[in-house]
Amino acid sequence: MNEKNLDHSHGHLEQDNLDSFTLIIEKKLDKKQEQENIKNCISKVIESLGKKIIEVGPGIIGHIKGRIEMKDKIRFSFVDEKQGVEFEGNINSEEKIDELEIKILAVVPVGGKELKKIKKKTKEEVDKCFN
Amino acid sequence: MFETNFVIVTGFLGTGKTTFIIELAKRLTEEKDKKINILVNDFGQIAIDGETLNDFGMEAKRITKGCVCCEVKQDLVAQIRDLKKNFEPDIIILETSGVASLLPIYRTVEQYVDEIETLTLIDVSRYDKLMEKFRTVENQLTFADRILINKIDLADDEEMKKIEEKVSKFLNKENPDGQLHKISARKKIGLENVVSGIVQ
């Protein structure tokens, strides 16, 4: 299967001047962390990613969404600053975990080198949550 | 012979489709005693929406590797036939990706289901910007049976009135039969009429 098929709906995205990136980050932590702390840190990363897209794009985001899969699993979504990062699902805040997976999909009106830079920066910011 | 209705839940990226389906599916099953199946056309390589529906105890079948309106039409047909054969559902709900076009989906599924109903969600606080920047939004509104202005809990009365006027004006011109509903899927506001409309 070619890349175009994997990154589906390419034609639709082009029609609306949108582009996308996906990040899947698996982590094994040296020291256990509370689920709530991880949720809060990722929330900040997503908010900052959204603000960056607004700053460098035409002032609007498509959609940034994803999942944090810890012992509990939650979905997050960000479309604008007013609504902020919204979560779907519940977590046991104090539960400590040392293994997780974060999936991020950003469909945004920014492309090319700028989008690659933003993707790289996002990964670095996620990594910082666990240092 | 059982009948299967096909409910398409569409709307631009981030308008609240998954949150709405969680509530819709729950109400159709628990309150209206309907047997439902959910198909999710997740965008891209990761199945965020499908997995989220599964987290909420709903068995959502994912259609990946393409858009159901173009690249993977045959996957959609295969899923519908499979569901009808094995589950005999009253209603199949399809969550489209946020950038899907509707007409090709109708043409693909019409011979396999008894009735098609399209619900298009719009986001009250982003309506103007989305209409201005993204052509897909117009298509989704033009072909909807019901237009759901979602996230009304985030708008004040004045903002709500303005959006309602703008959407009504668009519908009068492009889709006069489209019915307007005001809802908040997250806060569970205004959903009764939508659910009742679907099962009528």
Read out DSSP for chain B? Answer: ----EEEEEEESTTSSHHHHHHHHHHHHHHTT---EEEEE---TTS-HHHHHHHHTT--EEE--SS-TTTTTHHHHHHHHHHHHHHH--SEEEEE--TT--SHHHHHHHTTTSSEEEEEEEEETTTHHHHHHH-HHHHHHHHT-SEEEEE-GGGS-HHHHHHHHHHHHHHHHHH-TTPEEEE-BTTTTBS-HHHHHHHH-
Subunit contact A8:B44, Cβ cutoff 8 A: yes
- Indicate which CATH number applies to the domain containing B157: 3.40.50.300
Contact between residue B125 and residue B176 where contact means Cβ atoms under 8 Å apart: no
Say what the pLDDT of residue B44 is. 72
- Higher-confidence residue of B65 and B130: namely B130
pLDDT digits (tens, 9 = 90+) for B114-136: 999 999 999 999 999 999 988 88
CB B68 within 8 A of CB B94: yes
Q: How do residues B80-104 score in pLDDT, each as one tens digit?
A: 999 999 999 999 999 999 988 899 9
Does the residue B147 lie in any domain? yes
Tell me the domains of chain A and their CATH numbers: 3-128 (3.30.1220)
Which positions in chain B touch A8 (Cβ < 8 Å)?
43-44, 64-67, 71, 97
CB-closest option in B67, B154, B186 to A8: B67
User: Nearest residue of A to residue B138 by CA position?
Assistant: A16
Residue B81 lies in a domain: yes
Q: Is residue B130 part of a domain?
A: yes
Number of structural domains, chain B?
1
Across the range B61-87, mean pLDDT stands at 90
pLDDT tens, position by position, B138-179: 999 999 999 999 999 999 999 999 999 999 999 999 999 999
> How would you write the pLDDT of chain A (131 residues) with one tens digit per residue?
223 333 445 567 877 889 999 999 999 999 999 999 999 999 999 999 999 999 998 888 999 999 999 999 999 999 999 899 999 999 999 999 999 999 999 999 999 999 999 999 999 999 999 97
Residue B60 falls inside a structural domain: yes
Cβ atoms < 10 Å from Cβ of A4: 12
Say how far apart CA B72 and CA B64 lie, in whole Å.
8
Cα–Cα distance, B51 to A65 (Å, whole number): 13
User: Containing H/E element for A124?
Assistant: helix A112-128
- In this prediction, what percent of chain B has a pLDDT beyond 90? 78
- Is B67 within a domain? yes
Within 26-55 of A, beta carbons closer than 8 Å to B belong to none
Spatial distance between the Cα atoms of B93 and B61, rounded to a whole number of angstroms: 10
> What's residue A127's pLDDT?
95
What residues contact B112, with CB distance under 8 A and at least 6 apart?
Answer: B77, B80, B81, B84
Chain B interface, best mutation among A7, A79, A85, A87, by max B CB count within 10 A: A79
Residue B79 lies in a domain: yes
Flag whether B200 is in a domain.
no
- B198 lies in a domain? no
Maximum CA extent, chain A: 46
Residues from B contacting A (CB-CB < 8 Å) are: 13-14, 18-19, 22, 43-46, 48-49, 51-52, 55-56, 64-67, 70-71, 97-101, 123, 125-126, 129-130, 133-136, 151, 154, 186
What's the mean pLDDT in B169-197?
96
Give the whole-angstrom CA distance, residue B47 versus residue B62. 7
The answer to ipTM > 0.85 is yes
The parent domain of residue B50 ranges over 5-193
pLDDT of residue A9: 52
What pLDDT digit, counting tens, does each position of B48-58 carry? 998 899 888 88
Pairing outcome for strands B60-62 and B36-40: parallel
User: Residue B71 has what pLDDT?
Assistant: 79
